[in-house]
Every structure is written in structure tokens, then in C-alpha cells.
Amino acid sequence: MKSGYIAVIGRANAGKSTLINVMVGEKVSIVSPKPQTTRDRILGVLTEDDYQIVFVDTPGIYKARNALTDMMMRTTETSARSVDFLLYVVDGHEGIDEEDLSLMEKYKALGIPMAIAYTKIDIMPKENIPLDMAKFADSGLDVDVFPVSARKGKNIRELKKFLVEKMPEGERAFTEDIVSDKSERFMISEIMREKILLKFDKEIPHGIAVVVNAFERKENGVYDINLDIVCERANHKAILIGKQGKAIKEVSSFARQDMEKFLGAKVFLTTFVKVKEDWRDRPNLLKEYGYEDLGD
Ligand SMILES: Nc1nc2c(ncn2[C@@H]2O[C@H](COP(=O)(O)OP(=O)(O)OP(=O)(O)O)[C@@H](O)[C@H]2O)c(=O)[nH]1
Ligand SMILES: [Mg+2]
């Protein structure tokens, strides 16, 4: 059967995780309108009778500013080197520039077969598509480009079919019931982080780590979940909590609803907001919060 790994790479906020979720058919990776949503390498597994594709979601390419973002960029670089195929995702609605083209060239030079998913075509003027296609053609990159919309499911079937063809022959790496390499505990912390990314602005969501202290299924089927929201500054803590706890209550309620959907059971959620000054630059804390350095 066809079986292989595809690293999904591209600039932050391009739409990589959304595209993987759509192709896998399940939410394996959180999504938000803010750059640097994905912090880890996350595998999303798509299994059909005659093929298996393991999509490797990666942190979006962005300027590294601290030990965490530095580690994220190393994760992306390492992930891109150990796969059968590269899918470079570019935000069509943002338009492509020289920087995009030079990044694509850089990855193409790795010598791994590559294609481009030109996404978000649902929110851009149609007439811009052929102009960008001409830019790709003129760049001399010589790669297949698929204009898609992950949100509207446009051209996804065609892209999938193309990718299956590109996979080598081999055995499945995962059994068919597996959609992700990440634990339920990991997804719970990510769901909380996603809601914080959606609700808060500026540096606040970027300076958050979510630590699951307890994750337990009680006899009555209810999940008892206790987590810490770690932020970097006392003033961030005040904003996260809000007046009389209004902000944290609201964001926790959204998170709980999503956790219940994900776990298929009722959730009893308790959250605490903690401050750890500059944790993103403290290697021991990065490790404690589950950020693994995959750099080589
Ligand atoms: N309209 C539209 N929006 C999209 C599409 N794909 C992604 N988005 C939006 O683009 C934003 C970024 O999507 P993500 O999937 O989180 O992007 P990413 O590349 O994984 O981002 P990082 O993890 O930060 O690198 C979100 O607000 C998505 O809802 C699409 O096909 N159409
Ligand atoms: Mg992402």
C-alpha cells in the first residue's frame, strides 16, 4: 500500500493546521488567527483501505524571539528533513512575495519532493490566483501548485489524490484507529491555549503555557480536569482573570465545551492562573511545560 510522511511547512498563520485537520477529517491541531499557534510537531494520520498518510504539522516560520520560538524553529527544520514529501503552505489571500519564494527555494533545495498548497482562496479576489500562479511559474521553482480552501473544502480531494500518488509503497506506520500521536492530555492543554489565543490580544496568548495537573475519569464518566494557565507577568495575570474573574470564567467555559466535544463526556474543569516571569526563556521551565527540543 501507499504509506508515507508529509511535512506541512510554511510561514506562521498560513493555514497549515487547518489544512491538516481537513485532510485528516478530525481536529488534531489547534487553529487561530494569530501567528505561532502551533508550537510542537504534531502528527495527523489519515488512513484509508489502500493508503496511509502521516501529516507532520510544524510551527510556522516566524522570527524567533526567545528560547521557545527558537526551539519551535528547530522543530520545523528537523521535521522538514525526515519525511517523504514536503507540502509548502502559502496564504494566497496574503499574496506571495520574494520572501515566500526564497523560503520555498530553500526547502526545495533539501531534495525532498515538494508541492505547494496555495490556500484561503475563498477569501481572495479570483483574478489574483492566475497572477500568483504566473509568479510561481516564473520563479523557476518547478513544483505543482494546488489552489485550495481548507475552510470551504475546495480542491482538497484533488490535493489528497495527488499526495497519495506521491507516497512510497510500504506498511502502515499507525493502526487505523489512530489519528494523532498526541495524548488526550496534550489536546486538553491545547484546547485551553486555543481559546486563550482567540480571546486575548498582543503578547498575552503568546506568553501562555497550559499545564494539566490532573486529568481523571471518574466512575460516573465525568472527567475531572485541573490545569494551570502560566503567564509571564503579573499584569497579564490580572487581564487573564478580568474583573471579578469574568474573563477567565468565559474562556474556561468555551474551553470546557470543546473539551467535552473532544472527550465525548462531561468535564468538570478548574483553572488557576500563575505567573512565571519570562518562562519562555528558561530552558528548565520549557521542559517542565512539555516543550521538547527536537533540534539536531
Ligand atoms: N478563509 C479561510 N481561512 C483560513 C483557511 N485556512 C486557514 N484559515 C484561517 O487562517 C488562520 C490561521 O490558520 P492556522 O491553521 O492556525 O494556520 P497555521 O499555518 O497552522 O499557523 P501557525 O500554527 O501559527 O503557524 C485561522 O484563523 C484559520 O481559520 C481557509 O482555507 N480559508
Ligand atoms: Mg498551526
Tell which CATH architecture fits domain 2-166.
Answer: 3-Layer(aba) Sandwich (3.40)
Q: How confident is the model at residue 295 (pLDDT cuts 50, 70, 90)?
A: confident
Eight-state DSSP code of residue 94:
T
249: its cell numbers: 470564567
Cell of 106: 530553500
CA distance 228 to 213: 7
Residue 212 C-alpha to ligand 1 middle, in angstroms?
26
Q: Who lines ligand 1 at CB under 6 A?
A: 12-18, 31-33, 35-38, 59-60, 119-120, 122-123, 149-151
What CATH fold (topology level) applies to the domain 184-288? GMP Synthetase; Chain A, domain 3 (3.30.300)
Identify the pLDDT of residue 212. Answer: 98
240: number of CA atoms within 13 Å, CB side? 29
**What residue's CA is closest to ligand 1, atom 6?**
15
Ligand 1 atom closest to the Cα of residue 30 is 16
Q: Span 215-219, mean pLDDT?
A: 97
Task: State mean pLDDT over 10-32.
Answer: 98
User: Closest ligand to 22 CA?
Assistant: 1
Condensed to tens digits (0 to 9), the pLDDT of residues 159-173 reads 999 999 999 999 999
Extract the C-alpha cell encoding 162.
495527488
Residue to mutate, 8, 9, 11, 13, ligand 1, most ligand atoms under 8 Å from C-beta: 13
Pick from 61, 90, 62: nearest CA to 150: 90
For the segment 212-236, the average pLDDT, to the nearest whole number, is 97
Give the percent of the chain with pLDDT over 90. Answer: 96
pLDDT at 296 over 70: no
Ligand 1, atom 9, lies closest to the CA of: 15
**2-166 and 184-288, same CATH topology:** no
pLDDT of 230 > 90? The answer is: yes
> Which of helix, strand or coil describes residue 75?
helix
Grid cell at residue 256: 470546557
Helix then strand then coil, % of the chain, to nearest 5: 40, 25, 35
Could you identify the atom of ligand 1 that is nearest to the CA of residue 13? 21
Which pLDDT value is given to residue 80?
Answer: 97
Question: Where exactly are the structural domains of the chain?
Answer: 2-166, 184-288
State the pLDDT confidence band at 199, using cuts at 50, 70 and 90: very high
| pTM (two decimals) | 0.97
Ligand nearest 9 Cα, by number?
1
- Quick: pLDDT tens for 94-138: 999 899 999 999 999 999 999 999 999 999 999 999 999 999 999
